[in-house]
Each structure stands twice: as structure tokens, then as C-alpha cells.
Amino acid sequence: MRLRESLQYTSLSLPAIILYLVLVIVPLIGAFYYSFTDWDGLGKTYRFIGLDNYFTLFTDKIVLRTFSTTMKYTICVTVFQNLLALLLAIALNQSIKTKNVLRTAIFIVCTLSPLLNGYIWSFVYSGPLMGVGRLLGIDMLANNILGSKDGAIYAAAFASIWRMTGWTMIIFLAGLQMIPKELYEAAEVDGVGPFYKFFYITLPLLAPAITINVVLTFERGLKDFDSIFALTGGGPGDSTLVMALSIYKESFFFSRAGYGTTIGIMLFLLIVVCTLIQLKFLRKREEDVI
Amino acid sequence: MRKLVPIWLCLLMMLTACSSPSTTDSIAEPGKTSSPATAANVTLKLMLNSADDVPAFNKIIEEFQKTNPTVKFEVNAVPGTDTFITALKAKYSSGDAPDLYSFQVGARTGEFANAGLLLDITDTPLLANIKKDDLKLVTYKGKVYAAPLNAQATGIYLNQEIFDKYSLKAPENFNELLDVNKALREKGIKFPMIVAGKDVNHVSQFDFQYLATVVVPSDPDYYKKMLKGDLHFNSPLIRTMFERYGMLKEYVSPDALGVDADEAVKRLIKGEGAMLMNLNGLLSTIRRYGPDTKLTMVPSVLQDKTEDRILNVGVTTGLHISSSSKYPEEAKKFIQFALTPAMGNIYSKEAKQFSTVVGVTEAYDDALKSMLPWLNGNKKSPHADLVWIPGIKDVMKEVTQKWFLGEPIDSVLNQWEEQHQRLMKANPTFVENFGKE
């Protein structure tokens, strides 16, 4: 009987496993394979060059610079998206008449495609925002921020935060609703103020939601391609050239698909390492609460 | 176990749906005639690199189908060099290559020919109306792999209304260009030179024109020397280019880095600026915003002496046939038809481009009248960048924008050279074959 049940469950999950193998594992193995070659992305022939691409990568200042740009972008998105989402979740967890409308309005933005989001913000930065800046005589706004080598990466991060905050907020809202009201009532009886309630009840009990949000936002930030591509294409200069864009550039423009996949593999390893570190740290925090 | 039957059936159906249909082998032998059975239902997939070319090609196709009614077309335009090359490579990789495509000639044609993806069209009748000189950039290892479609000339667009208003003459050398800028500033046009700094293709127009009209005429073998290591992108020759650009930058609006191509065109039409450096291909965009604006396009004026002035013009786009096309004969037939003088005139008029076809007489815009004597003359210089190793042109655009942002000349030149060394190391075949016709 148990064997039959187990077979039933296995067969039910088989389609998902097959899809996962075909769409994730096979390309991943392919990427590893090509990272040891000098394939140009077009030709039918290529040579095995061992670890050459990896050695080149660690001495390649241009690619190493994209690493720091990626981290700058990712940290900015992770910190501000989570803070903003948490604030919104707390606000929309109160008894406000329009809370359902507001929740929907904020969440719906994340259904936009990242590419479309990029084009929308490209228009906003170069059109209306510049107009407002000129009208008010604010130089920083009057010149397109996407043209600034220091500001463009933050402008790109802002566009991403704007799109995904609603999604993060929903997870925080779910976490907030899981916290027993009795705890707050008991705290109120003891005369605890809102500040202490937040730091000693809300924040610790929100730990699982924080773990999910921080890990996913960080991982998405590292992989972000579409919206930066639409906003700046990596420019001005290479000031917004993140690792994902660099893979694309090396593979398609410089005809170095082998090298491009090597950067892809490094990005994959970076995501794995960062995720593991975050999970170790954040899970420990969750356990401490329990 | 009976419960499992529907699940297994679903799974089987899903796998059947996922599997690719029984496709016939799409790789045809180059030059092999398609069979009469297939010729009755021929559909040629045509991929264009400019949306502006679509109306022209629709008309040419319409004419072609009058005598070839069985040949159908799937026209797909992917504008933008960057997007096009990405889409094209993805299509080849996934086995969905177009039968025909129009794209930049030169190193990119060589790259695809070297990978065995293009059909050899050497000595075929479809090149009958093309000048031999125009075949250089579509020739790889002695064989022709594309039919030149259009030529682009570079120069400066002048807002003629402003020049007439202040009785100013079009500049003829670099010093005169600076003088005209100064004069216009004195007349109240604070930033006469328009640069779309946000767009890497526009911000690097100065480089393209300087390389073609100053560097190439002074040393036609400069790039061969670079590949040999005798000359570098951080040599004084290229440094001078940035120094010159710097002299002109004084007359460019400080918000140029936030200005895109469309905004630059609007500024020229509105008269907020008076001059814009670009290719004749920009005219279709200019006319969209200012169909009646009085404009003049003049050849580049970046050299010291007027007598050294030369027109930078050359084939930029070619029609390529994929070696995997199932209908190579129909594809060739179509190109031969598209490159007749009658169709060349249609192309020139509709796409607002200079056709490469001998015998095309249409001048498609009054703004280009002053270019005609130069186009018919002998003082011409080809586009310098088209022979470069794939990728380095994009680096040039990027470093120029960085310099425009304020990065020192030496820093950007060193980055340019560093990237060049990197690409040469990654592509030894290109370095080895360079210059071998």
C-alpha cells in the first residue's frame, strides 16, 4: 500500500521534476560545459581551454568592476525595498477604510514586466521629472539622472524598488497577520508603548517573513537584467553595467559566449554563497525567537 | 494502479506537446536549387535591421510577387544594432535563422561567414548592379557573402533657417566650425552644437567622423598597425581626436548626457541649437518631427585645411542569405530583383537611404542637395569602424560617453586599448585573417 501511494505521489510530481530538469538543470550543466571552451556563440566548432576563462575573469578589471556595481545595486534594492515594504505593510495592517484598495494599488505594480517598468522610468526620468526640475530650478532633477555616472545606478535601483515593493509588502502583511493579537493586548495592559511593541513583538515574530524577503530580494537584485537594460543599457559609460548585463555583452557583442557563461557561473556561485550566508544568519535569528 | 492511468496519459500528452514537430532538415546545401514541390509554397523569412526599411521592402515585395506569386514573405524588423545582433544570434542558435537578413557589413559579415552561416554569392548575377568597390566590406577570404544595400554618409545637419537669419556660411574646416559656434553664441544661441549624450551612437558621432575623415586619409593602414601592435588606441593619434572633441564640447549644452536622439532632433528643429553631427540615415527621424524644416547636410569639417576635406561615405548595410535557407534560389532571385535600378529608386525614396545600386537617380530630400557633388565626386573615405574586430566599436562608444561624463582622456583611452587587447586575444582568427581579401 505504501509503495503504491509513494508511486502515486512520485508520478504526480514527475511533470514538475522533468520540467525542472529540462529548463534548469540541463542548461546549468550546459553552462558549466561551455565555460571551459572558447565558443564564440555562433560557430559549430570550439576548443576546450580548461580553466582559462576563470583565470581571465579574476584578472579582468572590467568584469570585476561589474561585480562591485552589482553589489551596490543589490544592497540598495534589498535594504530600501524591504524597509519601504515593511512600513507600508504596517500602515496597511491598521484599521483603514481604504486598506484593500491601497493594498491592491500598491501590489498591482509588480505585475508590470521589468522591461516595461524600465521604459516607463526611462520616460519619467527624461521627460516629466526633468520638466519639474527645470520648473523648480533644481539642477539635480533638471538634468536627466540616468545621464549621471554616480546617480544612474541609484535611479535604476529606485525603479526596481518601485515595481517590487508591493510584492514584498504582501509577504510582510501575511507575516503581520500571523502574529497573535493577544501579545499586543498583553503588552498594552503592561503599558508598553508602540516603539517597544514594534521592536520586541512585531520584528522578532516577523523573522520568517524577513528571511523570505531579504533572501529573495537580494537574489533578484543580483540577477536583475531587464529593467537596467531598458533604463540605461549599462551606461552612461559602464556605470550601471551589472554582471547580468556583462554576460549578455560578452556573449553577444564581443562574441565570447564561453567567457560569458563563465561570468554566468560565477554569478550563480555568488548567489548560492550569498543565499547560504543569509539563510544561516537569518534562520538563527528565527530560532532565537522560538 | 488504475488511478494512475489518467495521470500517465496526461504526462504522455504533455511530453508529446513539448516535443518539437517533425522538422525536415533545415540545412540546405549552399547553392542547391529548391525542389519544384517546395517552390510552390515558398515563404521567405526576411529580417530587417530598421523599421524605416519596412515600407520600402513591402513595395519591393509587392512588385516581386507580380512575377513570382508563389513566393510569400514574413517580414520582421528588429530596429537597433544591439537588439538586432542579439536577436539574430539567438535565432541562429535556436535553428530559426531567417532566409534573408539586412545588417551591418564589414566585421559582422566576416564573423557570420567565418561561422559558416552565410551563403557564398560570389560571381552571381545578383551583384550585377553593384560597383566592385562596394564589395570590399562584404568579402571574406575572397568570397562575397552579402549584397550591399545602402550606403551612409556622415556630416553635419545645419538648421538653415538660423544660418540664413544670421547670414552665416556653412563651415568648411575645423577652425571655421569653432568660429561658427562662437558667432552663433554671440547671436544668442547659447549652445549651438547639439549632442545626444544619452545615446552612445550619437555621442560618438564625432569619433566616427574624425576617424573616417582625418585618421583614415592620413594613414589608411592604421588599423593593420594596431593589430600588429605598432599603433594603439591610446596613441597620440587618437588622443588628438578627444582633444578636438573637447574644443567643441564647450558649445554643447551641459545637460547633453540627458538628451536622447529624439530630443536632439527636436532641439535642432526648434532652433534651440543649430548643428547636429550624424549620418544621412537620421533624416527619416528628423522629417518625422519637422517635415518642412529648412535643413542642409554638409560633409564633415573636422580637418584643419579646407582642401583636405573629404566625404565619409560607404556601404553600411548588406542583404545576407543564410546558408541554412531552404530556398536559396528564391532568396537570390529576390535580392537580384531588389537591386535593380527601379527597385533601388523605390528603396531610396521610401527608406530615405542612399541605395548602392548603379543607376539610382532619386535624391530623396532637399537637405541632401549639398551632399550630391561630394557623392558624385572622388574625395571619399569609407567608414573606419566597420573593419574593426567585433565589439570594439561598442567599446569606443562607451568610452566616449565616459569621457563626455568627465573621465580624463588618458583613462578612457587606456580602457579602450585594454579592451582591444582583450578582444584580440579572444579572437586570434580575426587578427590572423585581417586584410586577407
Looking at the complex, does the CB of residue A149 fall below 8 Å from at least one CB of chain B? yes
What span, in angstroms and rounded, lies between the C-alpha atoms of B267 and B53? 25
If you measure CA to CA, which chain B residue comes closest to A150? B405
Asked if pLDDT for residue B2 goes beyond 70, the answer is no
Looking at the complex, does the CB of residue A82 fall below 8 Å from at least one CB of chain B? no
Shortest distance between the Cα of A28 and any Cα of chain B, in A, equals: 17
Percent of chain B whose pLDDT exceeds 90: 58
Cα separation values, B126 from A66, B92, B206, B348, B360, Å: 47, 24, 35, 18, 16
Q: Which helix (H) or strand (E) holds B174?
A: helix B174-186
Q: Give residue B361's pLDDT band: very low, low, confident or very high (50, 70, 90).
A: low
Give Cβ neighbours of residue B242 (< 8 Å, ≥ 6 apart). Answer: B403, B409, B412, B413
Asked if pLDDT for residue B9 goes beyond 80, the answer is no
Q: Do A147 and B112 touch (CB under 8 A)?
A: no
Cβ under 8 Å to A: B residues 394-423: 394, 398-399, 401-402, 404-407, 415, 418-419, 422-423
> In this structure, are residues A247 and A38 in contact, taking their beta carbons and an 8 Å threshold?
no
Looking at the complex, does the CB of residue A21 fall below 8 Å from at least one CB of chain B? no
Q: Do A253 and B1 touch (CB under 8 A)?
A: no
Cα separation values, B216 from B122, B220, B393, Å: 28, 5, 16
Q: What would the pLDDT profile of B295-307 be if each residue is shown by its tens digit?
A: 999 999 999 999 9
ipTM of the shown complex: 0.71
Domain ranges of chain A: 60-289
Report whether CATH 3.40.50.11540 matches the domain A60-289: no
What span, in angstroms and rounded, lies between the C-alpha atoms of B45 and B322? 10
Q: Do B89 and A8 touch (CB under 8 A)?
A: no
**pTM to 2 decimal places:** 0.77
Q: Do B255 and A144 touch (CB under 8 A)?
A: yes
Long-range contacts of A82-86 (CB under 8 A, 24+ apart): A82/A168, A82/A210, A82/A213, A82/A214, A82/A217, A84/A161, A84/A165, A85/A165, A85/A166, A85/A168, A85/A169, A85/A171, A85/A172, A85/A213, A86/A169, A86/A172, A86/A206
Before A236, cis peptide (omega within 30)? yes
Looking at the complex, does the CB of residue B110 fall below 8 Å from at least one CB of chain A? no
Size of interface A-B (CB pairs under 8 A): 114
Looking at the complex, does the CB of residue B255 fall below 8 Å from at least one CB of chain A? yes
Cβ under 8 Å to A: B residues 147-206: 197-198, 200
* Listed residue (B44, B67, B40) closest to B57, CA to CA: B44
Q: Do A146 and B419 touch (CB under 8 A)?
A: no
Give Cβ neighbours of residue B415 (< 8 Å, ≥ 6 apart). Answer: A62, B395, B399, B402
Q: What is chain A's pLDDT, residue by residue, as a tens digit (290 residues)?
A: 678 888 888 899 999 999 999 999 999 999 999 999 999 888 888 889 999 999 999 988 888 999 999 999 999 999 999 999 999 999 999 988 898 999 999 999 999 999 999 999 988 987 788 888 878 887 767 777 887 788 899 999 999 999 999 999 999 999 999 999 999 999 999 998 888 999 999 999 999 999 999 999 999 999 999 989 988 888 787 889 999 999 999 998 888 899 999 999 999 999 999 999 999 888 877 777 65
* Listed residue (B308, B280, B281) closest to B371, CA to CA: B280
Percent of chain B whose pLDDT exceeds 70: 90
What span, in angstroms and rounded, lies between the C-alpha atoms of A108 and A101? 10
Q: Do A42 and B111 touch (CB under 8 A)?
A: yes
Q: Do B198 and A144 touch (CB under 8 A)?
A: yes
Q: Do A252 and B86 touch (CB under 8 A)?
A: yes
Looking at the complex, does the CB of residue A142 fall below 8 Å from at least one CB of chain B? yes
Residue that has been written with the C-alpha cell 528571511 in this structure: A211
Find chain B residues with C-beta within 8 A of A238's C-beta: 398, 402
Q: How many CB atoms lie within 10 A of CB B236?
A: 11
Looking at the complex, does the CB of residue B257 fall below 8 Å from at least one CB of chain A? yes
Q: Which of A41, A130, A237 sits opposite B258 (nearest CB)?
A: A130
Cβ under 8 Å to A: B residues 312-351: none
Predicted local distance difference test score (pLDDT) of residue A289: 63
